[in-house]
Amino acid sequence: MSLSRLSTALRMVALGPLIALADRRRRGGAMIGMGLGVAAYLLFALHDASIKILVGRDIPAWEVLMVRSAVIVLFCAGLGGRAMLARAVATPIKRALLLRACITLVAWLCYYSAARALPLAQLLTLYFAAPIITTLLSVPLLGERIPPARWASVLCGFAGVVVACDPGGMRLSLATVLVLTAATFWGYAIILMRQTAMKESNLLLMFYTNGTFLVATAIGCATVRWRTPDWTELGLLLAVGGIGSLAQLALYEGMRHAVASVMATVEYSALVWAFVLGFVIWGDIPPVSVFAGAGLILAAGAVLLASERRAAA
């Protein structure tokens, strides 16, 4: 054996255990990412429920979302300080960050435009095609390898959404095209989130996204009558911004630990949280189909959890 080959073999023997340990920690990080994702979608459900309350009190949605975006931008600037603001100007991935912000904005506009014309069951079922789109795109764009168990969890979760929402009588229309467009853009936005999360801080990513939203919602506010909130409503408006800040922070951090295809399945937990909060806050009693669908979603989570724990072992 040549000296160079002997040296290479010795390095592999010495570094092999360290490489294996690093790979184990990386795979174990998926568990952290899943936990952060579940927490994020719980916070997003609280965020959406608070917005529903405010809109129900005749505060324009544009106004609610502008204040929310402003609070998150101030949250990022306050924590990040001058260093983050300087980095926002100097970052070499400004275009990627702006692209993701704009794609997320388009997804949001398509979703809420479709929401005016579609029943909630059909809206949610079509929109939750997004995790499947994320999983499909993660293979060519991120180079992820999707094991069978992960595919099973994604498809089982989507089946749960279909059962829970019972979207009977769904027909092709402009509204269905809009919500499918929203799902496609959001699925791609998750891919971009994963790509940019490894290059910049969470605060900077949030700053770019919500800064873009702030500009867009400010323009939207100019088209509606401003409604000055009372003190209770102002407190809830600020709470929406605070909850939104924590939700986004948890989601971005989760993307650093878990691959996009794992986080795609975790997104289905949002539907379970939405039904739970609907019962707690408004007393909505879901039909049996919702419990059956929620069971499938929880089963999807259990399949994913077991798969990732085996991978980390």
Residue 13 lies in a domain: no
Distance, in Å, from the CA atom of 221 to the CA atom of 114, rounded to the nearest integer, reads 20
pLDDT band at 93 (very low <50, low <70, confident <90, very high): very high
Under 8 Å CB-to-CB from 280, ≥6 apart: which residues?
none
Contact at 8 Å (CB) between 87 and 257?
Answer: no
In a domain, 12, yes or no: no
For residue 2, is it within any domain?
A: no
Is the confidence at residue 20, as pLDDT, over 70? no
**Is residue 234 in some structural domain?**
yes
pLDDT score of 305: 80
User: What mean pLDDT comes out for the span 287-296?
Assistant: 85
Gap between the Cα atoms of 241 and 247, Å rounded: 10
Q: Give Cα separations from 88 to 150, 209, 242 (angstroms).
A: 36, 12, 22
Question: What is the C-alpha separation between 45 and 240, in angstroms, rounded?
Answer: 11
Q: Is 241 helix (H, G, I), strand (E, B) or coil?
A: helix
CA distance 82 to 90: 12
Task: Tell me the percentage of the chain whose pLDDT exceeds 90.
Answer: 43
In a domain, 216, yes or no: yes
Q: State the average pLDDT for the chain.
A: 85
pLDDT of residue 119: 74
Is 227 part of any domain? yes
Domain that holds residue 247: 32-312
Calpha distance 172→303 (Å, rounded): 33
Buried b (16+ CB within 10 A) or exposed e, 268-277: bbbbbbbbeb
Predicted pLDDT at 6: 42
pLDDT of 276 over the 80 cut: yes
68 pLDDT above the threshold of 50: yes
Indicate the number of domains in the chain: 1
Cite the DSSP H helix spans in the chain: 3-56, 61-90, 94-115, 120-127, 130-142, 148-165, 174-197, 202-221, 231-257, 260-266, 269-282, 288-312
Read off the pLDDT of residues 205-258 as tens digits, 9 standing for 90 and up: 999 999 999 999 999 999 989 999 999 999 999 999 999 999 999 999 998 888
Is 294 inside a domain boundary? yes
Q: Is the pLDDT of residue 126 over 60?
A: yes
